[in-house]
Amino acid sequence: MRVLDHPLTPELARQRLKALADPLRLQVLEVLGGGERCVCDLTAELGLAQSKLSFHLKVLKEAGLLTDRQDGRWIYYRLQSEAIEQLQQWLGGLAHHCRTPAPPCP
């Protein structure tokens, strides 16, 4: 069953939005928007120490926004497209419902 078949819970939405609220984590997502990258490439491109980058990658991974794979001694990260699409659907639902007028007061 696809991730999009399950609605995003408010708790998971908060976790993902909190993960996205940090400017460095947004930069990580923007870089990974171009495709899977090795952690060594991410440290070089973002100009971050590996320990600092590892913390941000962990937050994004725990929020379900990234996935990784190990190949030898290197770890490769990529966006979890289903999670991003799920968040997009959730935000779209908010946008749709925000146009609903309030019921008249009694």
The pTM score is 0.83
Res. 2: pLDDT tops 50: no
Name the nearest CA neighbour of 83 among 69, 62, 97, 58: 62
Look at the chain and report how many structural domains it folds into. Answer: 1
Per-residue model confidence as pLDDT tens digits over 30-45: 999 999 999 999 999 9
Q: Is position 15 within any domain? A: no
Q: What pLDDT is recorded for position 99?
A: 80
Q: Is position 42 within any domain? A: yes
Q: Is position 69 within any domain? A: yes
Cα separation, 67 vs 13, in Å, equals 18
Q: Is position 93 within any domain? A: no
Q: Is position 101 within any domain? A: no
Res. 92: pLDDT tops 70: yes
The boundaries of the domain holding residue 30 are 22-84
Q: Is position 78 within any domain? A: yes
Residue 79 belongs to a domain with what CATH number? 1.10.10.10
Q: Is position 98 within any domain? A: no
Q: What is the mean pLDDT of residues 7-21?
A: 92
